[in-house]
Amino acid sequence: METKHSYGFGIIGLGSIAVTHAQAIAKAKNCTLVSGYHANQDRAEKFCMEYGIKAYSDLDQFLSDPNLDVVVVATPSGMHLEATLAAIKHHKHVIVEKPLEVTTLRCDQIIEAARREGVKVEGIFQSRYYGAAKVLKKAIDEGRFGKITLMDAQFKWFRSQAYYDSGAWRGTWQYDGGGVFMNQGIHAVDLLQWFGGAVSEVSGSIATLTHERIEVEDTAVATLRFANGALGIIEGTTGSYPGFLKRIEICGSLGSAILEEDSLLAWKFLEEQEEDSSIREQFGKKNGSNIDASKPSGLDPSGHCTLFENFALALETGSEPDISGEEAKKSVRIIEAIYKSAKERRQISLS
């Protein structure tokens, strides 16, 4: 079903990720970028001039624009709550860049405010919309893997010291909410729980090994037990030069698959189906979009584009968006438990 109306979008926070958002909104059906907000007037005007939209440095004026239907929050992670609550107070629908917030308590404040005011909130996890990820999710839901035994996620990336030094908020617990797990790797954590379902127990270890002047971890590992009985491992670092694409492995009694960004490096089942050869042909030769594991910018906007279109459809039909506030909170809860485990040196139950 396609939407009949066009919805006006505005962006709060005009850093590097806002470029991806603006590009995606420009391509998305029934979505129109109308404005941008930054506290610095010069920065707001520079960004908005490039896209031919209204520039605001007064938040109340930005949120009072009658042409604004949806606010996209792209501020530092630990500032999502304040921006989102302000938008909700003005009865605007909100899409929030990952993570939804840096603690489950702050996530719950967003979710409750949206419910109270009757507006919709969605988190940004664009990797769910990649073709290979959707094919893999469908196969899991159809039971093609049999009894799933192991589910692993790896994101061995590289970030320079200059990256962390570029902003006082980077690498802080208050504004980043964590390091490689909460900031960079949360997309892989989200995919892992989306594929595998609820996580019942976690055990984690974190360390800061290759960067200076940061509070959070740049290297971490965790073991997981899923509610379905499967075991899992998460490995992440921003100290692995030159960096490698994120990788998800699903292993089961009847089949296994390896997902690397939007490529399927392995797709093998005990009982082959007619479409398997075409799936391997379509997704086995990709190069993981245009993602660079050593750079935080320059993302392929196609996943964001589909997410924005899904949100417009939810507004049109009155349905929940695919990645509702409750759905976006799940990965934050898992990572929060991993950090608790690392701090207390014990296994944490999420059941």
Just give the CATH number of 7-126+300-324: 3.40.50.720
* Contact predicate 204/341, CB 8 Å: yes
Pick the CATH number of 128-294+332-349 from 1.10.760.10, 3.40.50.10860, 3.30.420.40, 3.30.360.10: 3.30.360.10
CA distance 330 to 74: 20
* Percentage with pLDDT > 90 across the chain: 93
pLDDT at 282: 96
- Got the DSSP string for 259-295? EETTEEEEEEESS--TTHHHHHHHHSS---TT--TT-
CA distance 50 to 176: 28
Q: Mind listing the pLDDT tens digit for each residue in 323-335?
A: 999 999 999 999 9
**pTM for the model:** 0.95
Q: Mind listing the pLDDT tens digit for each residue in 1-48?
A: 555 689 999 999 999 999 999 999 999 999 999 999 999 999 999 999
Secondary element (H or E) of residue 316: helix 302-317
Q: CA 265 → CA 42, 157, 237, 248, 274, distances in Å? A: 46, 19, 22, 10, 19
CA distance 87 to 85: 5
Domain boundaries, the chain: 7-126+300-324, 128-294+332-349
Q: Positive or negative, the Cα torsion across 96, 102, 103, 109?
A: negative
| Cβ-based burial of 78 (10 A; exposed 0-12, middle 13-18, buried ≥19) | buried
Which long-range contacts (C-beta less than 8 Å, at least 24 apart) are formed by 273-279?
273/144, 279/135
CA distance 337 to 213: 24
CB atoms within 10 A of CB 275: 11
CA distance 58 to 51: 19
Measuring CA to CA, which residue among 38, 125, 286, 291 is closest to residue 53? 38
CB atoms within 10 A of CB 49: 11
Which regions of the chain are under pLDDT 70?
Answer: 1-4, 286-292, 296-298
Q: CA 282 → CA 55, 67, 262, 270, 339, distances in Å? A: 42, 41, 10, 20, 38
pLDDT at 295: 72
